[in-house]
Structure 1
Amino acid sequence: MTGRILLALAGIGLLAFLVQPQAFAPLFQPFTRNGAPAIYTQTPLLALTLSHLALVALAVLASTIVALALAVLVTRPAGREFLPLARTITSVGQTFPPVAVLALAVPLMGFGTGPTLLALFLYGLLPVFENALAGLTGLPAPVREAARGMGLTARQRLWQIELPLALPVILTGMRLTAVISLGTATIGSTVAARTLGEVIIAGLLSGNTAFVLQGGLIVGILAVMIHEGFQRAERIAARRAGAA
């Protein structure tokens, strides 16, 4: 209960800061030097936060769709032989660091959102794929047999039985991908993507610790809120799966 109250207070404080950042200038002033501004104003913090979240959401959605499709494919009788290939594909993002993906993608895609989205998409495939694979292959045999005994087709078993029961595990993979992507997206500002990394980089270049703290605190609070939101969704999905 205490954790929820603290999280709610952190969310309210974050919203207040994003809407009226200048009101918090006295809190960050001690972290500035030589009369530097205490609040980053080159781009509105609210706009940067919304852009950052939109980029992460799009990357997580794309990663989930592709990874889940591959997991479903390799758990069907006709697609089991493609499991090693699917694991290789989803592991690419973990093999190449996001910075390396950005460096390779910029010459082809140019500066901006594209390279960052590609890096986050590749980096997020593996957690969703492995969790979806575990969820779909870990269903109890009696459940599968009962579904067949009810006369359900393969497609009906997938949509009505397998995916709903595997949903809590799939959501766990999505949670890992979302939290990792939220932090990793900050490097997108190095290739001109509109993310909260812009604030952190500006602080590092100017030696203004206040800017670094602002960017880091916003990302950190958002990461905790997203983590808790997914965990709550996982618990709800688990209860429904148990009731089913």
Structure 2
Amino acid sequence: MKVLRTSLFWLLALFITLLAALPYSEALWAWLFPELDRPLYQQDSFASLALAHLGLVGVSSLLAAAMGISAGVAVTRPAGREFRPLAETLAAVGQTFPPVAVLAVAVPVLGFGQAPALIALVLYGLLPVLQGTLAGMAAVPAGVREVANGVGMSAWQRLWKVELPLAAPVILAGVRTSVIINIGTAAIASTVGVRSLGTPVIIGLSGFNTAWVIQGALTVALMAIVVDRAFERLQKCFTRHAE
């Protein structure tokens, strides 16, 4: 745990240092890409783009988690079991449908901005949460449920006090996967006018500026690693409490 904590600290420090140092690194990028007139992206600060990116991922991930966990719990109850195949199919379709295609359909209806981006990210991040919830609920030992019934717990008490706490580590693993997917996928939100770390990537691709693409991709990748390590630490805490 101490090694994990230290690793997370240094990764976070590296990410913050990168965001702070990028505006002053024009000489480095000019040396790496001498053929480019403007090798450093300076239209927005990388720190503000990172905050916007995190905000977009945070909102979409919260919505995906709320929908995925709710649906996963609902279809494991006796009254909802017959809807499980439908829920899994809809979630699978949501992830297999390309986010770019979702944006192309949503933009004419909702216009440019965060709304179509959120829809695409929620649909794309829903399946891992649903699968994690189903796997977590299935992993709760039948004997534990029988004991809960034996002490007189109601169905809701058994769910909140027994099943969900025991399933939490596996559910969190699904949320972790969903969030990491959305960090990378959120970069395409810049194609519909949303500020994110994908902005230098999209502009760089359209302007054949490889340096800008690398700068945006590097910050997105490092953000994903930091968030993944944070979830790893959180998951270990949940696992320890569930044991």
Query: Under TM normalisation by the shorter chain, which class is it?
Result: over 0.9
> In the alignment, is the contact (CA less than 8 A) between 1:203 and 1:212 conserved in 2?
yes
> In the alignment, is the contact (CA less than 8 A) between 1:113 and 1:194 conserved in 2?
no
Equivalences for 1:12-91 in 2 at 5 Å? 12-34=13-35, 36-91=37-92
TM-score, normalised by the number of residues in structure 1:
0.93
Residue equivalent to 2:121: 120
Residue equivalent to 1:145: 146
Report the CA distance between 1:92 and its aligned residue: 2.3
Equivalences for 1:1-244 in 2 at 5 Å? 5=6, 7-34=8-35, 36-242=37-243
Pair 51,69 (structure 1): closer, same or farther in 2 beyond 3 Å: same
Report the CA distance between 1:161 and its aligned residue: 0.6
> In the alignment, is the contact (CA less than 8 A) between 2:132 and 2:171 conserved in 1?
yes
For structure 1, the residue ranges without an aligned partner over 5 or more in a row are none
Pair 82,35 (structure 1): closer, same or farther in 2 beyond 3 Å: closer
Report the CA distance between 1:4 and its aligned residue: 6.0
SS at match of 2:202: helix
Letter in 2 for 1:147: A
> In the alignment, is the contact (CA less than 8 A) between 1:36 and 1:208 conserved in 2?
no
Output the CA distance in 1 between the equivalents of 2:71 and 2:204. 41
Letter in 2 for 1:199: P
For structure 2, the residue ranges without an aligned partner over 5 or more in a row are none
Q: % of aligned pairs identical?
A: 45
Letter in 2 for 1:125: L
Output the CA distance in 2 between the equivalents of 1:134 and 1:9. 33
Report the CA distance between 1:204 and its aligned residue: 2.0
Report the CA distance between 1:89 and its aligned residue: 2.1
> In the alignment, is the contact (CA less than 8 A) between 2:183 and 2:220 conserved in 1?
yes
Letter in 2 for 1:89: L
Output the CA distance in 2 between the equivalents of 1:121 and 1:236. 26
SS at match of 2:37: coil
Aligned positions, number? 242
Output the CA distance in 1 between the equivalents of 2:230 and 2:212. 27
Q: What root-mean-square deviation, in Å, do the aligned CA atoms of Structure 1 and Structure 2 show?
A: 1.7
Report the CA distance between 1:3 and its aligned residue: 7.1
Report the CA distance between 1:114 and its aligned residue: 1.0
TM-score, normalised by the number of residues in structure 2:
0.93
> In the alignment, is the contact (CA less than 8 A) between 1:38 and 1:211 conserved in 2?
yes
Output the CA distance in 2 between the equivalents of 1:146 and 1:17. 53
Output the CA distance in 2 between the equivalents of 1:56 and 1:121. 9
SS at match of 2:25: helix
Output the CA distance in 2 between the equivalents of 1:3 and 1:36. 42
Pair 3,240 (structure 1): closer, same or farther in 2 beyond 3 Å: closer
> In the alignment, is the contact (CA less than 8 A) between 2:100 and 2:188 conserved in 1?
yes
SS at match of 2:182: helix
Pair 2,68 (structure 1): closer, same or farther in 2 beyond 3 Å: closer
Pair 208,92 (structure 1): closer, same or farther in 2 beyond 3 Å: same
Output the CA distance in 2 between the equivalents of 1:58 and 1:36. 37
Output the CA distance in 1 between the equivalents of 2:50 and 2:230. 18
